[in-house]
Structure 1
Amino acid sequence: MSRPRRFNLLQDYDGYNPDTLNLLQDSEAKDYWFQCFIRLVWKFEQQAAKSQSSDPTAVDRAAQFRKHYLEQLEQLKDDDRSSNREPLAIRNLLELNEASLRLYGFDDPWKEQKRIENEASIKKLSSRLQRLDELEDTVARWTEIIKGVLAGNMFDWGAQAVSQILESDKNFGLEEALQRIQQRPWLIDCLDQWLDRLQGPAHKCVTIFTDNSGIDIVLGIMPLARELLLRHTKVLLCANIKPALNDITFDELKEVVSKCCAECKVIRDAYETGMLKILGNEQNGPCLDFRLITHELCGAILESDLLIIVGMARALHTNLNAKFTCETLKLAVVKNEWLAKRLGGNTFSVICKYENV
């Protein structure tokens, strides 16, 4: 792994804390989230076994994963060391899940599901872009693009409220998600400020930290990237190198973008000329800790004057309160009822937080 270096786009690197909640200092949150992951581990076990159904050892290994993960959770929950130790956050519980799956040979349990959803979504990209192009009014078009990113973020198999919908309704797609997410005004609603900013000069370079596969990346993020490219903004798409839940990986993103090139000339021209690039992020789970950004990635995105951080893990569990030296747009749908209520909203409330330094 490449060595980390200080990420200079943070306003206060030494004071940076990626985590929104410290479970060691919040007993209600700690009780809730440990119980939440104890419930979720059964689903992760089933998905792990299913992902390697042709292997006769898969069921036993999946059960061993569950046992190990639950034991590790109990150790973390009962740890009574001083409260001035490193914070304990949702990020740690998610990273423990990924590490435990890999320990028992399940590197990417959602791989086949991601492939199916990516291919299905690419077939719908052209019509999605055509619909957006029919919106001649810039405000209306950008509003629809941002809503599309948010609706795409619904497709998260790691969120129990969403997985129940996806399992029960095989026809649930982008249009259905657009109807399900919170209508404006949103829980955190900076859309008007973002739209006002778009009246000004185009950004030189944007780094987008992507989230889920399928509808999220193809019908949410790619139209967003295309619209920024049309403003002559360089676009850097950043995905985790290691699998985490159904998040798109660096290798999968390269394949998806290559196929999107066949559907859109703007994307193809930008990819061929280097105005659209794909970068790898070596995080250990679905969250985003800017202290762990590698030396190479730091250098690649240092030219960015805009960061777009997408998803609950990257923009809500981590970095909701982080301050940067460039403009930031944090986009997520709150797919957990407890967390939504803690923030003053309801399930599927929307986070659209724009900060202009």
Structure 2
Amino acid sequence: MSSSSSKGFPLLQDLASYIPDSLDLNRDAAAKEYWFGCFDRLVLKFELQAAKSQSSDPSADARAAQFREHYQEKLRQLKKANVDPNDQPLTIRTLLELNQKSLRLYGFSDPWKEQKKLENEASLKKLPARLQWLDQVDDINAKWTAIIKGVLAGNMFDWGAQAVSQILEKDAGFGLEEALERIQKRPWLVDCLEQWLERMKGPAHSCATIFTDNSGIDIVLGILPLVRELLLRKTKVLLCANTEPALNDITYEELNEVVKECCSECETINQAYHSGMLKIVGNDQNGPCLDFRNISQGAFKNICLMLLFILFLNFQNCLMPPR
């Protein structure tokens, strides 16, 4: 993990002026109504997941209900509170972190733990076939495009996203191939793929940092093929994960286990992991949103490429309708 207590991600131009959130819900009435509605509905699913995660405990159902009631009451208070211009912004991150704190308050530190384990194991079984398929793509542009599309498709598997959770609940067999079919045709809303393809024809980056997101298909079938391709270019990779559990996001400890399992399936990753070319790093976060002010600097001093793969909770805007 990070070896320095000094805080603040080193690539930030100005730590003092950095704001981790792009939207203040107190300044956008329509957005506030939308997001409070989303979380008011999502908490019902979180309640079920919390109770399910401790089904052998007779108190689990009652504590899960208390969690929901507590969280919904906090939402009501935040929504009705008088707005002072000097107050801290009310953001989506605020609501997500409140959810995590509320779960922990009622004894649910990691409600998705068992589900994450099962999804990681299932995805690892499919990794060799995914890597073999990518190795059969001879054209470098086509290969990188397939890798990036795999990252986008893998990032769908986020149980904190309302639109995505509805898809996953309705279709237990929904996997990477199905997710790939849901990706919109290019150009995407934010589309820098051509610039990326051109850059990949140039010299390799010396060190890349990848901030991971979800367990299962996302990390194993989306991110690890990307990691392998960077390693093949002789780029050192820092693979970062949350220090503490949050939703179905993979944690530092879980990521270590996944990569160790992957070593038996991929010699490139195996050699890099044991030589130090691939390092697993805790990002000092205990919620589902990154705040670069809180990241220890130690492991990140010499990076020249940073990759963020984050799912916006309104991901339905980027999805095609089911075929």
- TM-score tier (shorter): over 0.9
For the 8 Å contact 1:22–1:88, the answer to whether it is kept is yes
Aligned twin of 1:283: 285
Equivalent residues of 1:24, 1:83 under 8 A apart: no
2:239 aligned counterpart, secondary structure: strand
CA RMSD of aligned residues (A): 1.5
Q: C-alpha separation between the residues in 2 aligned to 1:347 and 1:8?
A: 31
One of 338, 343, 348 as aligned partner of 2:319: 348
State whether residues 237 and 277 of structure 1, in contact with CA within 8 Å, keep that contact through their aligned partners in structure 2.
yes
The range that moved more, 14-23 or 119-128, is 14-23
Matches of 2:288 and 2:194 in 1, distance apart? Answer: 29
CA distance in 2, matches of 1:300, 1:5: 11
- Name the structure 2 match of 1:40: 42
Which residue of 2 is the match for residue 214 of structure 1? Answer: 216
Equivalent in the alignment of 1:101: 103
Query: Which of the numbers 304, 315, 321 marks the counterpart of 1:335?
Result: 315
1:186 and 2:185 aligned: no
Q: CA deviation at 1:14?
A: 1.8
Aligned 1:1-357 pairs, distance under 5 A: 3=5, 5-294=7-296, 298-312=297-311, 334-336=314-316, 346-348=317-319
Mapped contact 2:208–2:238 kept (Cα < 8 A): yes
Gaps of 5+ in 2: none
Task: Provide structure 1 residue ranges, at least 5 long, that are not aligned to the other structure.
Answer: 318-333, 337-345, 350-357
Instruction: Give the SS at the match of 1:176.
Output: helix
User: Do 2:9 and 2:300's aligned partners in 1 also have CA atoms closer than 8 Å?
Assistant: no
Could you list the per-position Cα deviations for residues 291-329 of structure 1 after superposition, in whole angstroms to 9, with x for gaps in the alignment? Answer: 1113xxx120121100001112xxx58xxxxxxxxxxxx
SS in 2 for 1:11: coil
SS at match of 1:185: coil
* TM-fit CA distance, 1:182: 1.3
Contact 1:253/1:278 (<8 A) preserved: yes
- The letter of the residue matching 1:335 is F
**Higher deviation after alignment, 220-229 or 82-91:** 82-91
**Does the 8 A contact of 1:226 with 1:266 survive in 2?**
yes
Structure with bigger RCO (C-alpha 8 Å, 6+ apart): 2
Verify the 8 A CA contact 1:145 1:223 in the aligned structure 2: yes
Note closer, same or farther for the CA distance 1:152–1:88 as it changes in structure 2 (3 Å cut): same
Q: How far apart in 2 are the matches of 1:348 and 1:250?
A: 29
Q: Distance in 2 between matches of 1:7 and 1:161?
A: 32
Please give the TM-score of this superposition, normalised by the length of structure 1: 0.86
Distance 2:19 2:249 in 1: 23
Question: Which sits farther off after the overlay, 70-79 or 186-195?
Answer: 70-79
Q: For the Cα contact (< 8 Å) 1:122–1:260, is it kept in 2?
A: yes
Q: Bigger shift: 73-82 or 91-100?
A: 73-82
Deviates more, 1:95-104 or 1:22-31: 22-31
Q: Residue deviations 1:77-135, cap 9 Å, x none?
A: 12214123211110010000000000000011111111111000000101100110101
Shift of 1:4: 5.1
TM-score by length of 2: 0.95
Cα deviation, 1:212-254, whole Å, max 9, x if unaligned, reads: 0000000000000000000000000000011111011111100
SS of residue matched to 2:308: strand
| Residue identity opposite 1:53 in structure 2 | S
Whole-angstrom distance in 1 between the partners of 2:131 and 2:290: 29
Residue 148 of structure 2 aligns to a residue whose secondary structure is helix
Give the deviation of 1:3 after TM superposition.
Answer: 4.8
- 2:13 partner amino acid: Q
Distance 1:181 1:102 in 2: 35
Cα shift readout 1:145-189 (whole Å, capped 9, x = no counterpart):
000000000111111211121122121111110001212111111
Residue number in structure 2 paired with 1:353: none
Aligned residue pair count: 318
Give secondary structure in 2 for the equivalent of 1:189.
coil
Superposition deviation, residue 6 in structure 1: 3.2
The 8 Å contact of residues 207 and 306 in structure 1, kept in 2 or not, is answered as: yes
